[in-house]
Amino acid sequence: MTPQNALLEKIEQADALSAHRFRYYDFAMAATCVIVVCSNIIGAGKVAQFGAFTFGAGVLFFPLSYVLGDVLTEVYGYARARRVVWAAFAAAGFAAAMAAIITNMPPAPEWNVDLGGVDRQTAFAENFGQAPRIVFASVVAMWAGELSNAYVMARMKVWTEGRLLWTRTIGSTIAGQGVDSLIFYPLAFAGVWKPHLLLTVMATNYALKVGWEAALTPLTYRIVWLLKRVEGVDVYDKDTDFTPFSVRS
């Protein structure tokens, strides 16, 4: 095959994939956005403890977005996974802005009643009035971590020629969650938490996220297999533009 014919074949394949009608891609995008928004609003700032084990509460649910990220990249390719990351980034940013605006609006006197030592506005602000620093850290860390996860996943799929899915899901999580943790905790809590607490939570959360991903590997295998079968696609990112600053799919 001549280089010109090879180029034409790649263009035809790209056009065919662009025209392909996916049945579940939009649902995966919506689920990712929901998980990211809920994790940032509900779980980002709380530290939980079971026995002697201290960890950030959001670790229980946020890794599910990385599972979905692995599935999206494995089935639909890096470009479509990148599009989902940008959608989640926008959703998290909007949710944070909405929470900040509503929290800072003056409360109606008849609504702002005493709730037993604290007024309703104060309680509302404690629940939804995240510090701008935490919001900025969580959104930036999510964006960088999820894109790193997708990039490693896509590259490893080509290197392994589609074999050994578990090496890609775990390997990409090690990279993506590492980037996420190294950005989020110092940006959000350096100077607020004591260094020992910050390092403890960062290390334990990272270990939990990677372990959680490994434990969900059988489920990831099942979802990937079903989606490839139903969607009729299995994308290899051999000629993909890996720039993170695009929403093109």
Residue 230 CA, distance from chain mean position:
24
CA distance 188 to 220: 31
Does 11 score more than 60 pLDDT? Answer: no
Using one digit for the tens of pLDDT, what is the confidence trace for 64-74? 899 999 999 99
Work out the mean pLDDT of the chain and round it to a whole number.
87
Domain segments of the chain: what residues? 19-44+58-105+116-231
Q: Identify which has the larger pLDDT, 208 or 244.
A: 244
Q: What is the pLDDT of residue 16?
A: 54
Angle at which helix 132-159 crosses helix 63-76, to 10 degrees, equals 40
10 Å Cβ neighbour count for 240? 17
- Side-chain-side CA neighbours of 25 within 13 Å: the count stands at 23
pTM, two decimals, is 0.87
Q: Identify which has the larger pLDDT, 184 or 9.
A: 184
Q: What is the pLDDT of residue 17?
A: 58
Q: Which residues of 229-239 are buried (b: 16+ CB within 10 A; e: fewer)?
A: eebebebebee
Q: What is the pLDDT of residue 12?
A: 45
Does 188 score more than 50 pLDDT? Answer: yes
Q: What is the pLDDT of residue 7?
A: 39
Q: Identify which has the larger pLDDT, 183 or 131.
A: 183
Q: What is the pLDDT of residue 9?
A: 45
Candidate from 3-7, 102-106, 116-120, 167-171 with smallest mean pLDDT: 3-7
Is the Cβ–Cβ distance between 237 and 76 less than 8 Å? no
Does 239 score more than 60 pLDDT? Answer: yes
Does 149 score more than 90 pLDDT? Answer: yes
Using one digit for the tens of pLDDT, what is the confidence trace for 195-218? 998 998 889 889 988 998 899 999
Report the pLDDT averaged over residues 92-120.
90
What percent of the chain is modeled with pLDDT above 70? 90
